[in-house]
Structure 1
């Protein structure tokens, strides 16, 4: 059962982010067909992730009320509706509405899949389980970067959106049949507050994603425009970078599970530093296609490892409030994504140089590494507690280690 939950979560989380990557990979096609600028493309991507942050704020209460299973199904329904809008009214306004709706759903599926995986697996397997789930993002990037640029160049963006709607429907059905309910019990006791200083995780996530999101959304345009690679070749290189990144990502997660809870956060710091090194390579030698591809592989593998272990570190820091802790971290995660893509596009448009934009990203990621180091004393990260395992049928609140998240109520209470 646990493997099936992780597999469905893998696909659900990857597909949830599809609109942002579709817009990025189809950037040249959308510019030609709809007259969009690079800044407008960046704004659309950024708005989606900003809306995802809003979705994360709402996700705690929604997941508590309807459970992880139906939260993921709801996300897929929102995604289908979102992708339909540009087909009915092509243009920037419809694309803007699309990314807002899809972003809210993506925030919901982020928290819901964290809850589902944590409920289905024992604590000693959280590192690998959450890393595998997170790998859904590069998995979708690999597939879409291989297929979408070539299809878009030949047939336009509309067939890509139609196909994605069909896939979303299939994933929604799979989620309804597979994922655990994992909702909070009506008889549960009072909610446990987040550990003191937990806001540092929110800040660290903001800086990490603010400085690293362009390695996904801007990879194809960067390789095409800065290194001279053709659009199909840029898609293939991006796919190779994403696929190659999965091996070190999962290997690091396995090592982290073996080393124990207390070692996860230092590994996040080290991986974040490697992301900065990869982006530094892009800033220094970014005009060369080989150096560009190598920098993307290095940065992508380290970034995915850092993000997956960040999720595991958050679970360890707040084992009695997993859903709420995930939501708070994801708010920072997508706040970073809100400004990252449009800022990157604005820097390129303003300076005419991708190198300057990659240098700006490198600085933000270096700040993220320092902030993650600052998080070491939060909650139980230094204690490696044993958290009772929960069956996938367990309801939230029936066990003191189960996810208890109500971000809205905590916000009103001033926590």
Structure 2
């Protein structure tokens, strides 16, 4: 056990399962971004192809997130997570063995994307049920730390794998990780905390505030995932060697990981205001995007630290706020808001890629900063709607 407040503790087993499951489902898309230079050269693709491939993944995830968000409330969340990890492995192994064109690559990303859309609400439900309510801020920070963990592994895969034995082996190793995760996830009795609410499909939720929060998440995630997809490409374009660009992505991931853990830890010490803090973070992230827009190689490190730390470090806190406002309906509520993240992650990389190919990186980063600022504003609107809503339980 780790961490305690008023005698309540966080299970290391729960934390390990949550972060491992989320990482296994996130690796396919972040490998695609980090290895994009090598993938494009191998398959003779243009720069915009990276954005389209990332969009295929998140588009598929949107469908499964919206349609299966309540599945983990009806069945054991761990069982849902196990199947999602398995199909994530299938998609990655398919890429490694059979992707010889844009279409075949996209086909296997569809499989991985569907698995990711099932995985995210399932892990949220799992954490909400297994962690004491007074420690869920840190728990969701740890859970969302899996995303920068995946991007860190993807970034390290550039010098360690792609530039040595080939980019396809990156997907082989990632598939092996997902298989191990699927194997260790329990089949038996669900892990639950006595202080966490029991999920039930009978618990009502109000849709309009969630739609507003999903829209805000779309804007913020669109900018952040464009950064995740094109950070390495942008660094290489700025004159950085591919290996060093991969390490830059790993550095950014470490920044994002730290931000999610710290913001989650601090959330447990507050009684509310979590969405306001998330809005502030995504707004600060816009500064990082504007630093990228200068195309100055010297500013790449601070831009990466701010972009990943603030611009992509708010997700865990945001999910925690949604779950806190919807006890007993974590899967359905975060299934809706997470779909916004997926929609943004479809539009963001595609739009950014087309802008880069036909205009410039500078203009793309400027639009990303604008999207982040608008995300911050709409988060605050969504928070006001939650407060006004009669079904609200606790202020976010």
d(CA) in 2 for partners of 1:189, 1:52: 22
The 5 A counterparts of 1:327-346 are 327-346=335-354
Is the counterpart of residue 372 in structure 1 residue 379 in structure 2? yes
Measured in 2, the distance between the counterparts of 1:360 and 1:294 equals 19
Where 2:273 maps in the other structure, the secondary structure is helix
Distance 1:255 1:89, change over 3 A: closer
1:401 corresponding residue in structure 2: none
Q: CA deviation at 1:230?
A: 0.4
For 2:289 and 2:199, the matched residues in 1 are separated by 49
SS in 2 for 1:319: coil
Map of 1:214 onto structure 2: 226
With over 3 angstroms needed to count, the CA separation of the structure-2 counterparts of 1:273 and 1:189, relative to structure 1, is: closer
- The question of whether the paired residues in 2 share the 8 Å contact of 1:316 and 1:380 is answered with no
User: What secondary structure, in the 3-state scheme, does the structure 1 residue paired with 2:314 have?
Assistant: helix
| In structure 2, C-alpha distance between the alignment counterparts of 1:245 and 1:187, rounded to whole Å | 30
In structure 2, the CA distance between the partners of 1:179 and 1:8, relative to structure 1 (3 Å rule), is: farther
Q: Which residue of 2 aligns with 1:93?
A: 103
Runs of 4+ more than 6 Å apart: 381-384
Tell me if the contact between 1:70 and 1:176 (Cα under 8 Å) persists in the aligned partners.
Answer: yes
Kindly report which structure 2 residues correspond to 1:398-413, keeping only aligned pairs within 5 A, or say none: none
CA contact (8 A) 2:221 2:312 kept: no
**How far apart, in 2, do the equivalents of 1:158 and 1:206 lie?**
30
Q: TM (normalized to structure 1)?
A: 0.85
- TM-score if structure 2 supplies the norm length? 0.89
Partner of 1:37, secondary structure, is: coil
Deviation (angstroms), 1:357:
0.6
Residue number among 257, 282, 289 corresponding to 2:292 in the alignment:
282
What is the total number of aligned residue pairs between the two structures? Answer: 379
Alignment of 1:320-331 (within 5 A): 320-331=328-339
Q: Name which of 234, 246, 256 aligns with 1:235.
A: 246
Structure-1 separation of matches of 2:75 and 2:86: 15
Q: Distance in 2 between matches of 1:341 and 1:187?
A: 35
Equivalent residue in structure 2 for 1:245, among 240, 252, 256 = 256
- The 8 Å contact of residues 317 and 380 in structure 1, kept in 2 or not, is answered as no
Deviations 1:313-363 (A, max 9, x none): 111222242211010001111000011111111100001x21111001011
Report the secondary structure of 2:60's partner residue.
helix
> Which has the larger displacement, 142-151 or 287-296?
142-151
Deviation track 1:128-163 (CA, whole Å, cap 9, x = no partner) reads 100100001111211220123442122222222221
User: RMSD of the alignment, in Å?
Assistant: 2.4
Within the candidate set 125, 141, 146, 1:136 is matched to: 146
Q: Are the equivalent residues in 2 in contact too, given 1:279–1:362 (CA < 8 A)? A: yes
Q: Report if the CA contact (8 A) 1:15-1:137 is conserved.
A: no
Q: Deviations over 1:347-391 (max 9, x none)?
A: 00001x2111100101111110000111223446998749xxxxx
Q: 2:31 aligns with which of 22, 34, 39?
A: 22
Aligned mates of 2:31, 2:50 — CA distance in 1:
11
Question: Aligned in 2, Cα 1:179/1:269: closer, same or farther, shift over 3 Å?
Answer: farther
Q: Where do 5+ consecutive residues of structure 1 fail to align? A: 387-415
Do the aligned partners of residues 16 and 348 (structure 1) sit closer, same or farther apart at CA in structure 2, a change above 3 Å counting? same
CA distance in 2, matches of 1:32, 1:135: 31
Task: Tell me how far 1:126 sits from its aligned partner.
Answer: 1.2
CA gap 1:176/1:380 in 2 versus in 1, 3 angstroms: farther
- Rounded to whole Å, the distance in 1 between the matches of 2:17 and 2:33 is 25
**Which residue number in structure 2 is paired with residue 121 of structure 1?**
131
Name the residue aligned to 1:59.
68
User: 1:379 & 1:89 partners in 2: Cα distance?
Assistant: 45
Q: In structure 2, do the counterparts of structure 1 residues 142 and 190 end up closer, same or farther at CA, with 3 Å as the change threshold?
A: closer
The corresponding residue for 1:77 is 86
Which residue in 2 is equivalent to 1:357?
364
Alpha-carbon distance in 1 for matches of 2:365, 2:336: 27
